[in-house]
Structure 1
Amino acid sequence: MENKLNNIINKSRYITKEGEVATYIPSLGKANSTDLGICIADMEGNIYKSGNYNKKFTIQSISKTISLMLALMDNGKEVVFDKVGMEPTGDAFNSIIKLETIMPSRPLNPMINAGAIVVSSLLKGKDKDEKFSRLLNFMRKISGNDKLDIDEDVYLSEKSTGDRNRAMAYFMKDVGIIEGDIEDILEVYFKQCSIKVDCIDLAKIGLFLANKGIIPGTGEQIVSEHITRIVKTFMVTCGMYNGSGEFAIRVGIPAKSGVGGGIMAAVPHRMGIGTYGPSLDDKGNSIGGYKLLYELSRELNLSIF
């Protein structure tokens, strides 16, 4: 399998030159655009890896899948989906336009920034520190990595440049979608996006979802099968931003991308996959990671459709 991954990495690295690293969060602009890595974690306990699989990067929007699981466990789906919808948008992940033009005025899904901010506001905890601590510990548990923590530089960079997210959050508070202190909610959101991971961490989170919320090896059910099914469905319909439909047709795997260059994928009953490539396409998806998943899906017949 690792020979296969090595071949796919070598075959795909050229495409990193066709994208650009994210610069709207200044700290992300420091990444090496030609980095490309992949890891597979399967049900039998095998870990296969290749390329720059151990390069650390921030999880960014992939964290939306994890906060959604926790919010659903904290509140139940009726409460969560009263505040945020279930439909793809067709717009960019940071678009604000439909918040004002649709009624009721709520984010269309939890995988866009507005929806993820609402989800973060629903996490239980006496204050912002407890809320983030619960989220971080949850992520540590399902990834099997108790050393996960935030990248302080990226967090401060996100906080200082996050005015569009602030605009969306204050608008949603004005129309009654969000309750609580907006700056506290945004601190949780900015911190969750700034957690450092590598391809192995993402592959293990993907495997957890592929295994219906059960920690592989221990058999411990952390999240209900129903919640993991909801999350994987959002990954198919909304996980690759406004390129999700094309990705579903071409690759056919539940996946969630982040502008830090990561993609986390879950192949039900089979494996979790983590990829890294900070060079992004015009929709904000890793151009190299997309290519790796496309090639891997074709070779191993991974499409769920």
Structure 2
Amino acid sequence: MDIRKHIRGETMIQTIFENVKSAPDSGHLASYIPALANQSKDLFAACLVDGKGEVLEFGDIDYLFTLQSISKVMSFIVAAEHLGVDRILEKVDVEPTGDPFNSIVRLEVAEKGKPFNPMINAGAITVASLLPGETVELRVNAVREYLSKITGHEHYVNQEVYKSELETAYRNRAIANYLKANDYLVGTVEEALETYLQLCSLEVSTQDLSKFGLFLSSDGKFANDNKNLISRKTAQFSKALMMTCGLYNASGKYAATIGFPMKSGVSGGVLCTVHNGELENLNGHIGIAVFSPMIDEIGNSVKGMDFLKKLSDQYKLSVF
């Protein structure tokens, strides 16, 4: 997708952005992933784009960060288009958990250890093993190339972040072993884990994420034509999962207070999709992305969520 116009100058959205940016810092960096602990806590960016190519962007928009859990949306879409949504649902459910994203306890209480949804680590590791391709490289490339179709340029795995995550993946490896023992993984534990962690380590900008949000808002259509890259069913399930499970065990709170589909990652990014909004010169289908690496105890960007809450209140973006 080509972005044709940049709207600049004073807007209410810019005022919201500046107010959130100047607020006292709170939260912490995702230091349990050593490479993420090196991010500057002062980074902050937001980008909004509509189907006409109009865009509003603020802050550190050129900074590249890793997708982390936002990659779960892309993985689900590629796997669902490869095998069909119904086949994916045989391996992963679509129910919220109310538990942390890396929880193991639900696997022990669920029917036959089935992951509750693709937006938590257990579900995402399972989905990673279902991606097209017989090797880790092919599975990662399937998602990487798909993302590139939407953003219009190549995306690469940040090797420092990937190696950092792989070296400290004790809990995720335990989850993957449990999944393998219950026959949910295709291939080996290490293949599934390496695929999942490489996808988490793909680099994007806020503009890239806003393009993906716009793409989802229009049920998988490119903004400049009527070509659907994904089925409506895949788009429907993806957005429903983002709304109900996309913000870890704070998903219900943010569905009530912000009210549109979102998916966050512990690097500080948030992917958002608005089906029908009106924000300054932007209207109709809108993709929104924010980035700020200071996260709360659940794993969501503190300033990112504050910005989105104020944006939704100001422009009445909630679907409820």
* TM-score normalised by length of structure 1: 0.97
Gaps spanning 5+ residues in structure 2: where?
1-6, 277-284
Is residue 2:249 matched to residue 1:242?
A: yes
How far off its partner does 1:14 sit?
4.2
Equivalent residue, structure 1, for 2:151: 143
CA deviation profile, 1:237-293 (whole Å, cap 9, x unmatched): 000100001101110010000001000000014200010000001110001110111
How far off its partner does 1:220 sit?
2.3
Is residue 2:225 matched to residue 1:218?
A: yes
Is residue 2:66 matched to residue 1:58?
A: yes
**Which of 307, 313, 316 in structure 2 is aligned with 1:292?**
307
How far off its partner does 1:177 sit?
1.3
Is residue 2:263 matched to residue 1:271?
A: no
Q: Give the SS at the match of 2:111.
A: coil
Match runs of 1:114-129 below 5 Å: 114-129=122-137
**Which of 35, 41, 46 in structure 2 is aligned with 1:33?**
41
Equivalent residue, structure 2, for 1:301: 316
Distance in 1 of aligned mates of 2:131 and 2:261: 24
Q: Percent identity?
A: 37
Is residue 2:188 matched to residue 1:181?
A: yes
Distance in 2 of aligned mates of 1:115 and 1:127: 19
Distance in 2 of aligned mates of 1:248 and 1:9: 21
Distance in 2 of aligned mates of 1:129 and 1:272: 29
Distance in 1 of aligned mates of 2:23 and 2:260: 21
How far off its partner does 1:147 sit?
2.4
How far off its partner does 1:201 sit?
0.4
Distance in 1 of aligned mates of 2:54 and 2:64: 21
* TM-score normalised by length of structure 2: 0.92
Equivalent AA in structure 1 for residue 241 of structure 2:
F
How much is the aligned-residue C-alpha RMSD, in angstroms? Answer: 1.2
Equivalent residue, structure 2, for 1:17: 25
Match runs of 1:247-266 below 5 Å: 247-266=254-273
Distance in 2 of aligned mates of 1:51 and 1:285: 19
User: How many positions carry a matched residue from both structures?
Assistant: 304
CA deviation profile, 1:124-161 (whole Å, cap 9, x unmatched): 112211111111000111222x2211111001111111
Distance in 2 of aligned mates of 1:250 and 1:78: 31
Which deviates the most, 215-224 or 69-78? 215-224
Distance in 2 of aligned mates of 1:281 and 1:223: 33
CA deviation profile, 1:152-174 (whole Å, cap 9, x unmatched): 10011111111111100011101
How far off its partner does 1:15 sit?
4.5
Distance in 1 of aligned mates of 2:154 and 2:13: 27
How far off its partner does 1:63 sit?
0.6
Equivalent AA in structure 2 for residue 281 of structure 1:
D
Distance 1:72 1:100, change over 3 A: same
Distance in 2 of aligned mates of 1:105 and 1:226: 26
Does the aligned pair in 1 maintain the 2:185–2:192 contact within 8 Å? Answer: no
Q: Give the SS at the match of 2:57.
A: strand
Does the aligned pair in 2 maintain the 1:58–1:260 contact within 8 Å? Answer: yes
CA deviation profile, 1:166-205 (whole Å, cap 9, x unmatched): 1000111011111311111111111100011111000000
Which deviates the most, 253-262 or 70-79? 70-79
Does the aligned pair in 1 maintain the 2:157–2:202 contact within 8 Å? Answer: yes
Q: Give the SS at the match of 2:114.
A: coil
Distance in 1 of aligned mates of 2:288 and 2:268: 14
How far off its partner does 1:17 sit?
1.1
